[in-house]
Amino acid sequence: MRKRKAQRVNQSIMRGVVAMALVVLLVCYLFLTLVGCSPAGERFHVQGTISDAPDSTLLLEAMTLSGVQPVDSVRLDAEGSFDFAVVPDTCSAPEFYRLRIGSQVINFVVDSLEDIQIQAPFDKMASAYEIQGNEASRTMKTISLMNIQLQQQIARLDKETSLSAMEKAERAQEMVETYKTTLKHDIILADPASPAAYFALFQTIGGQMLFNPENNKNDVQYFAAVATQWELSYPGALRTENLRNIAIRGLRNTRQARQVEIEIDGEKVREIGIIDFGFKDILGQERRLTDFADKVILLDFTAYQLPASQQRIIELRELYSKYHSRGLEIYQVSLDADEHYWKTMCEALPWVCVHCPEGFNNDMVRLYNIQAIPTYFLIGRGSEMKARGEDIPDIQKAIETEL
């Protein structure tokens, strides 16, 4: 009797211990989750003034992938001051927000626990605001102002009585293309990994997206460029996955890259793609990057006229000799201005050597955000971008992991 009673006591104690352990684990998990993104529940602050807007309601809204979500609001006093403090939902990638009064909007991005200051007059809130504390948000302002100006130009054009409907449409299209070209070269190609590049991709004119990532072959490349850089900078983030999925659909639709579907532990992994391109080798034959989709690729951008070129070639020879038979291919893009010199230097090299005559001015080189050479990337089988060189501490170990 005493033995059974002792057993029941012990079981009760054990259940209590287990329950307490579970509670502790849950608390630790929640604490680590919060700390991982905002230590001790820290918040980012958005503060400033909207002048001449007494009794107006200022809304703070999150621009999520599922739509606009209210975050906070304040009724402005005579001074128009506001101070929003927000615990971010995630720290895995930059997040976009906006301040709004009626139809007037100020867009900004938060990529850390920072303080952002905004001042604006109510009557020109969307165009005459000043923002400090975040460089990407200032670039987003430039994008928004260009968009507003374009829509104003199109509205004035529509009222022009001396032009036919066809002439108006042609001129409007020219204006749109000019704006689009500016976004491509001054914003997206300048820094594909930036929040501003992401913001530029989703600009709209008249309710229609400026870029068509579904069916426009050229536009798809810009989505793929930003997706590639975000994959390296913010792996696993929802916005990164969204960009990647958009780019993959566009690449599939325009047949510009091969995609693969693989299985790991019986679970299908989504298709992965890269930005495909092709340059000519010394025989004048175009060699496309996706021609080697069944290989692990070391994509290397370089110039043979660099002082350190010979040492670089020695290092690549060692990698090629060790891993080529196991499935490694080196795809080396020369940015040398002297084509003859390039041909002479790469004639005896065993790997794929191609030449880009435009150098850094080539769109594909800019899409890969090549700002200095040598720069290299590791691409897994099936054309899956793995990492940029500066993010690879041990290239041999990285290659062996993929083979």
- Which of 385, 345, 397, 393 is closest to 192 using CA atoms? 385
- Find out whether 343 and 354 touch, Cβ atoms under 8 Å: no
Q: How many helices (H) and strands (E) does the chain have?
A: 10, 19
Distances (CA, A) of 122 to 130, 147, 152, 396: 12, 19, 19, 58
In this structure, which amino acid lies at residue 204?
Answer: T
Which pLDDT score, from 0 to 100, does residue 91 have? 62
Which pLDDT score, from 0 to 100, does residue 307 have? 76
Task: Quick: pLDDT tens for 362-384.
Answer: 878 877 888 788 889 999 988 88
Q: What is the dihedral of CA 168, 172, 178, 180, to 10 degrees?
A: -160
Read off the tokens for 348. 């005896």
Phi, psi angles (nearest 5°) of residue 295: -110, 165
Determine the angle formed by the axes of helices 309-323 and 395-402, rounding to 10 degrees. 30
Query: Which uninterrupted H or E stretch holds 145?
Result: helix 135-158
Which pLDDT score, from 0 to 100, does residue 104 have? 92
pTM over 0.85: no
Top-confidence residue, 19 or 60: 60
**What is residue 290's DSSP assignment?**
G
pLDDT grade for 273, boundaries at 50, 70 and 90: low
- Find out whether 288 and 274 touch, Cβ atoms under 8 Å: no
Determine the angle formed by the axes of helices 238-254 and 217-233, rounding to 10 degrees. 150
- Find out whether 92 and 230 touch, Cβ atoms under 8 Å: no
Which pLDDT score, from 0 to 100, does residue 89 have? 66
- For range 207-235, the mean pLDDT: 84
Task: Quick: pLDDT tens for 148-207.
Answer: 999 999 889 888 888 888 888 888 889 999 999 999 989 998 888 899 999 999 998 877
Top-confidence residue, 72 or 267: 72
The reply to whether 278-402 shares the fold of 42-133 is no
Q: Which residues contact 321 (CB under 8 A, 6 or more apart)?
A: none
Top-confidence residue, 176 or 18: 176
- Which of 202, 204, 250 is closest to 224 using CA atoms? 250
Which pLDDT score, from 0 to 100, does residue 351 have? 95
pLDDT exceeds cutoff 50 at 28: no
Read off the tokens for 61. 């809204």
pLDDT exceeds cutoff 60 at 293: yes
Classify domain 278-402 by CATH number. 3.40.30.10
Which pLDDT score, from 0 to 100, does residue 300 have? 94
Sheet holding 328-334, edge to edge: 286-288, 278-280, 352-355, 328-334, 296-302, 375-380, 384-388
For β-strands 328-334 and 296-302, DSSP reports them as parallel
**Separation between Cα atoms, residue 356 and residue 358, nearest integer Å:** 6
Top-confidence residue, 361 or 345: 345
CA angle 87, 90, 91 (to 5 degrees): 100
Task: List the single range of 93-97, 215-219, 314-318 with lowest mean pLDDT.
Answer: 215-219
Task: Quick: pLDDT tens for 130-143.
Answer: 999 889 999 999 99
**Separation between Cα atoms, residue 193 and residue 225, nearest integer Å:** 9
In this structure, which amino acid lies at residue 305?
Answer: Q
Which pLDDT score, from 0 to 100, does residue 265 have? 33
Task: Quick: pLDDT tens for 51-103.
Answer: 999 999 999 999 988 888 999 999 999 999 999 988 876 667 899 999 999 98
Read off the tokens for 53. 């807007």
SS3 76: coil
**What is residue 191's DSSP assignment?**
-
Please report, for the chain, the start and end positions of each structural domain, with discontinuous segments joined by +: 2-37, 42-133, 166-270, 278-402
- Which of 308, 296, 290 is closest to 396 using CA atoms? 296
- For range 219-234, the mean pLDDT: 85
DSSP string, 296-318: EEEEEEE-TTSTTHHHHHHHHHH
Q: Is 246 exposed, middle or buried (0-12, 13-18, 19+ CB in 10 A)?
A: buried
pLDDT exceeds cutoff 60 at 395: yes
Topology of the domain covering 42-133: Immunoglobulin-like (2.60.40)
Which pLDDT score, from 0 to 100, does residue 332 have? 95
Tokens 């102002």 sit at which residue? 145
Read off the tokens for 233. 């900078």
Which pLDDT score, from 0 to 100, does residue 203 have? 93
**What is residue 61's DSSP assignment?**
E
Output the average pLDDT for the chain: 81
pLDDT exceeds cutoff 90 at 50: yes
